């Protein structure tokens, strides 16, 4: 027996298509509306943004994805006020799906971003501290921030968030000082270690604290192994501080940290030295500078930049010579590592960017001029590039310091220079950069080479490097 379907009347088919289009339009509408509300927030003046944020939050879950998309790009953001409102909105929406993005923001150099992200996580995970692995990861990230090198005022963000997430029984936490709150939270986690994930999933700050504070050899070894496996350079400065101060940790912990420091950096501690009276920390730092300044991969640059940002915060909280030391150290490292201002990492604070931009601009102009000289140009072009170099290094002491990066390459060019006038100008440049006279106004190349030999010997003796930086 055969069977067939009856044809659907044309009017019914049209009605079905209209209904389907209507449903699809309704499904897309919330996202379009949320995006429009987000654009309204972005374009509004600062004083109108709280109301625009409230309108966005009123849209509910449809607003989450657009907000997460903005927050994920926080490192490239120039409108910091807008990012702050987006972080607050995610907390008000209690959007668990924003957790990973918010945990990433905890690492921001903008302390207001990190503070708002911590507060948002506290709202999202309130009372859920025992709800599973993700809650443990949130706890670890916030506790890691609590033990990071951040201003005291920023400790309230992660501290209060952890109290809310884990229902920590602290009376009037808002009324405590930052340090009192942090200590009370620490004490609670010491009694409730199961609220944290395994060591391999914890921030390095927590594993370093375990090495310093635990009397259990096995527990310390697990934490050390986690630090070793992560390969992060963040622990380098705190470990060096411990090694610099007698009595800051047990002898066993100090030995373990000295070994780990060597593994992470490739420089043993204490470093080999012919002078038994030499300060091992100072000697190690010089070796670390020499090694670090040659590394231009993302891992080493990110480490140096993070340390510069942290040391700048410390200096502006309490300006003194001791606080200025790390700023100078990591600024110098970054001048070696970065090619020009465009290489400054996204998310750099204006203060740190300003500290490097001018010097990196000088470096780029000098690098271009030296590279042009190395290409063996004709007489006019050669004179032009030498004039550029001489003008740049004559502008300021900072420019001369940057010029030292090219001392080796310039002395090499001087050795090959046949033209007496160009050689004379190169000698003037080498004298200006090094502070050691290098008079190359000689009639023959042989005599000029004799002068260069003596100049290089003197330069090395006073400790100026003649090793060319990485191209």
Asked if omega into 27 is within 30° of 0 (cis), the reply is: no
Q: Which of 87, 75, 73, 71 is nearest to 122 (CA)?
A: 87
How many residues in total does the chain contain?
471
- The rounded percent of the chain whose pLDDT value lies above 90 is 77
* pLDDT: which is higher, 327 or 274: 327
List of long-range contacts for 343-351, beta carbons under 8 Å, 24+ apart: 345/75, 345/301, 345/302, 345/305, 346/75, 346/76, 347/74, 347/75, 347/76, 347/108, 347/109, 347/110, 348/109, 348/305, 348/309, 349/109, 349/110, 349/309, 349/312, 351/312, 351/316
Examine the pLDDT at 11 and tell me if it is beyond 70.
no
d(CA 418, CA 393): 24
Those residues whose C-beta lies under 8 Å from the C-beta of residue 6, and which sit 6 or more positions away, are none
What's the pLDDT score for residue 5? 39
What's the pLDDT score for residue 23? 35
Chain centroid to CA 328: how far? Answer: 16
Chain centroid to CA 29: how far? Answer: 39
Query: In which residue are the tokens 């049209």 written?
Result: 14
What's the pLDDT score for residue 471? 40
Examine the pLDDT at 469 and tell me if it is beyond 60.
no
Three-state DSSP at 126 gives coil
d(CA 192, CA 123): 21
What's the pLDDT score for residue 274? 73
Examine the pLDDT at 366 and tell me if it is beyond 60.
yes
Q: What is the dihedral of CA 111, 117, 118, 121, to 10 degrees?
A: 180
d(CA 220, CA 217): 5
- Lowest mean pLDDT segment, chosen from 26-30, 198-202, 397-401: 26-30
What's the pLDDT score for residue 15? 38
pLDDT in tens, 51-60: 999 999 999 9
Alpha-carbon torsion 25, 28, 29, 32, what sign? negative
Q: Which of 383, 381, 389, 332 is nearest to 362 (CA)?
A: 389
The CA angle 114-117-122, to the nearest 5 degrees, is 125
DSSP 133-191: HHHHHHHHHHHHHHTSS--GGGGHHHHHHHHHHHT---SSGGGS-HHHHHHHHHHHHHH
What's the pLDDT score for residue 466? 63
d(CA 290, CA 346): 25
What's the pLDDT score for residue 470? 44
Examine the pLDDT at 341 and tell me if it is beyond 70.
yes
Q: Which of 432, 439, 436, 394 is nearest to 414 (CA)?
A: 439
Examine the pLDDT at 21 and tell me if it is beyond 60.
no
| Residue pair 384/373 in contact by the 8 Å Cβ criterion | no
Phi-psi region of 187 (alpha: psi -120 to 50; beta: other; left: phi over 0): alpha
Those residues whose C-beta lies under 8 Å from the C-beta of residue 204, and which sit 6 or more positions away, are 144, 226, 227, 230, 232, 234, 235
| Residue pair 148/128 in contact by the 8 Å Cβ criterion | no
What's the pLDDT score for residue 368? 96
pLDDT in tens, 392-420: 999 999 899 999 999 999 999 999 998 98
What's the pLDDT score for residue 64? 95
pLDDT in tens, 438-460: 999 877 888 999 999 999 999 88
Those residues whose C-beta lies under 8 Å from the C-beta of residue 188, and which sit 6 or more positions away, are 166, 168, 170
What's the pLDDT score for residue 264? 95
Domains and CATH numbers, the chain: 30-198 (1.25.10.10), 199-279 (1.25.10), 360-461 (no CATH)
| Interval 223-249 mean pLDDT | 93
The mean pLDDT of the chain is 89
| Interval 306-328 mean pLDDT | 92
pTM: 0.84
In this prediction, residue 27 has a pLDDT band, given cuts at 50, 70 and 90, of: very low
**How big is the chain by its Cα radius of gyration, in Å?**
30
pLDDT in tens, 129-165: 988 999 999 999 999 999 998 888 888 999 999 999 9
pLDDT in tens, 255-268: 999 999 999 999 99
At residue 443, what are phi and psi to the nearest 5 degrees? -75, -30
Rounded to 10 deg, the angle between the 80-93 and 111-124 helix axes is: 10
| Residue pair 265/233 in contact by the 8 Å Cβ criterion | yes
d(CA 99, CA 185): 21
Alpha-carbon torsion 161, 164, 165, 169, what sign? positive
């Amino acid at each position: 027996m055969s069977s067939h379907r009856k044809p659907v009347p044309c009017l019914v088919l049209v009605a079905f298509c209209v209904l389907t289009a209507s449903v699809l339009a309704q499904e897309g509408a919330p996202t379009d509306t949320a995006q429009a509300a987000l654009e309204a927030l972005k374009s509004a003046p600062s004083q109108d943004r709280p109301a625009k944020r409230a309108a966005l939050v009123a849209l509910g879950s449809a607003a989450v994805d657009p907000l997460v998309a903005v927050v994920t790009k926080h490192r490239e953001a120039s409108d910091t006020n807008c990012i702050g409102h987006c972080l607050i909105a995610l907390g008000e929406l209690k959007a668990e799906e924003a957790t990973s993005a918010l945990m990433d923001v905890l690492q921001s150099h903008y302390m207001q971003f990190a503070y708002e992200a911590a507060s948002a996580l506290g709202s999202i995970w309130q009372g859920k501290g025992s709800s599973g692995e993700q809650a443990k990861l949130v706890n670890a990230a916030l506790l890691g921030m609590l033990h990071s090198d951040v201003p005291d005022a920023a400790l309230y963000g992660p501290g209060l968030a952890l109290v809310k997430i884990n229902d920590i029984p602290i009376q009037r936490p808002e009324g405590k000082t930052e340090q009192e709150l942090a200590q009370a939270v620490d004490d609670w986690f010491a009694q409730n270690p199961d609220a944290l994930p395994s060591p391999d999933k914890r921030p390095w700050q927590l594993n370093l604290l375990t090495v310093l504070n635990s009397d259990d050899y096995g527990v310390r070894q697990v934490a050390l192994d986690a630090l070793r496996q992560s390969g992060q350079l963040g622990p380098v400065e705190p470990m060096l501080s411990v090694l610099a101060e007698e009595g800051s940790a047990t002898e066993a912990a100090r030995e373990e940290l000295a070994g780990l420091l060597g593994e992470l950096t490739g420089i043993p501690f204490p470093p080999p030295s012919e002078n038994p009276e030499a300060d091992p920390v100072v000697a190690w730092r010089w070796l670390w500078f020499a090694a670090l300044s040659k590394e231009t991969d993302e891992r080493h640059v990110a480490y140096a930049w993070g340390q510069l940002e942290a040391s700048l915060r410390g200096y502006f909280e309490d300006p003194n010579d001791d606080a200025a030391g790390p700023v100078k150290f990591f600024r110098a490292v970054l001048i070696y590592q970065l090619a020009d201002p465009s290489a400054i990492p996204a998310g750099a604070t204006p203060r740190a960017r300003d500290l490097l931009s001018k010097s990196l601009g000088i470096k780029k102009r000098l690098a271009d001029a030296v590279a042009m000289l190395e290409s063996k140009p004709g007489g006019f072009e050669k004179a032009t590039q030498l004039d550029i170099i001489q003008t740049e290094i004559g502008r300021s002491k900072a420019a001369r310091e940057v010029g030292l990066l090219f001392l080796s390459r310039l002395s090499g060019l001087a050795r090959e220079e046949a033209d007496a006038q160009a050689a004379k100008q190169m000698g003037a440049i080498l004298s200006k950069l090094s502070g050691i006279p290098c008079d190359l106004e000689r009639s023959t190349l042989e005599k000029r080479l004799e002068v260069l030999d003596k100049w290089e010997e003197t330069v090395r003796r006073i400790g100026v490097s003649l090793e060319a930086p990485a191209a």
